[in-house]
Amino acid sequence: MGLYAGRILIYAVLIVGTLLTFGPFYWMAVSSLKPQGEIFAATLQLVPSQPTLEHYRNLLARTAFLRWTFNSIVFALGTTALSLFFSTLAGFAFAKYEFRGKRMLFAIVLASVSIPQFVTIIPIYGLMVKLGLTNTYWGLILPFSVNALVIFLMRQYIAGIPSELLDAARIDGSSEFGIFYRVIVPVIRPAMGAAGIFVFLNTWNQYLWPLIMVQSNDMMVAPVGLATLSTLYVIEYGQIMAGATLSTLPILVLFVLMQEQFVAGLTSGALKG
């Protein structure tokens, strides 16, 4: 009997947990489909009386949402590509070579993981102003192209590759960069994928840095652009929810398709560290 009651309790907890988890997602999607007058209705309305796509049409027609999304994609992909390249190459050096200063350099990189981003923000902003890189993709991307956590992860993965593989490639006449390109990269591709998802999502979700770096409406990334809609004189909540839905949906689809890699990527810092 006690076991039975326990089961019921567990099911109840699971149902409540699931409702709480998906509730805000549901509310976002459903609000984006409600006619203007129903979004803040006086009584609870779980389903729109007359679903409409007008907010989606208006969002695309009256705001720069598509441009913001494009900017977000460039920002996230550019950051991911650069930081994977820099970090994997350097991680390879730290994992498989002996050189002077190695320990000290690596210690410096590791120490920087725990330094909060905002301490660098003001000098970097000053630098970007001086270089004329505000309101540009480079201004957004470059500061995030070095990621100490990724270099640490890459070194861990590469250290697990047997050194005999490298020596065999050397005997075959491969250059040192050739070893990296033809031996290391193919082997650690899954790890790079996981780290790539980690960097991509972190960048996609950035708010503070793009808010500082970009003032022109055309260069805003999606989260910043959407948030500006909620500071207008007349706030179109339907449009904001339509934009929120559109910018969340692709990530959700990717998550469903590549669950294992997502979870591995986003928790890799924890589980390797």
Partner 1 sequence: MNWPERWDQRRRAPYLFIAPFFLMFIVFWVGPIVTSIGLSLTDWNGVQLPRFVGAANYRKLLGSAEFYIAVQNTLVAALVYDVLMVVLAIGMAVLLDWRHLPFRRFFRASFFVPVTMSLAVVALVFQLIYAKEGGLLNQLIQAMGLPYRVDWLGDTGVALWSIVALRVWRATGYYAIIVLAGLQNIPKELYEVAAVDGATAWQSFRRITLPLLRPVLAFVVITSSIWALQLFDEPWILTKGGPVNSTLTMVIYLYQHSFQYGELGFGASIAYVLTMLIAVLSLLQLKLFGAESSR
**Residue placing its CB nearer to partner 1 in the complex, 162 or 260:** 260
Name which of 25, 87, 68, 77 is nearest 202 in CA terms: 77
In the bound complex, what is the minimum distance in angstroms from residue 121's beta carbon to partner 1?
7
> Which CB sits closer to partner 1, 60 or 211?
211
74 or 212: CB nearest partner 1: 212
By C-beta, is 115 or 165 nearer to partner 1?
Answer: 115
Smallest distance, partner 1 to C-beta of residue 212, A: 6
Least distance (Å) between residue 148 CB and partner 1: 8
Least Å from the CB of residue 24 to partner 1 = 5
- What is the chain written as a DSSP string? -HHHHHHHHHHHHHHHHHHHHHHHHHHHHHHHHS-GGGTT-SS--SS-SS---HHHHHHHHHS-HHHHHHHHHHHHHHHHHHHHHHHHHHHHHHHH---TTHHHHHHHHHHHTTS-THHHHHHHHHHHHHHT-TTSHHHHHGGGS--HHHHHHHHHHHHTS-HHHHHHHHHTT--HHHHIIIIIHHHTHHHHHHHHHHHHHHHHT--HHHHHH--SGGG--HHHHHHHHTTSSS--HHHHHHHHHHHHHHHHHHHHHTHHHHHHHHHHHHHH-
At closest approach, how far in Å is the CB of 218 from partner 1?
19
Smallest separation, CB 74 to partner 1 (Å):
16
In the complex, minimum distance from the CB of residue 22 to partner 1, in angstroms, rounded to a whole number: 7
Quick one: 60 or 227, whose CB is closer to partner 1? 227
Distance separating alpha carbons of residues 84 and 195, to the nearest angstrom:
8
CB–CB of 170/97 below 8 Å? no
Cβ distance to partner 1 smaller for residue 49 or 267: 267
Of the pair 135, 205, the CB lying nearest partner 1 is at 205
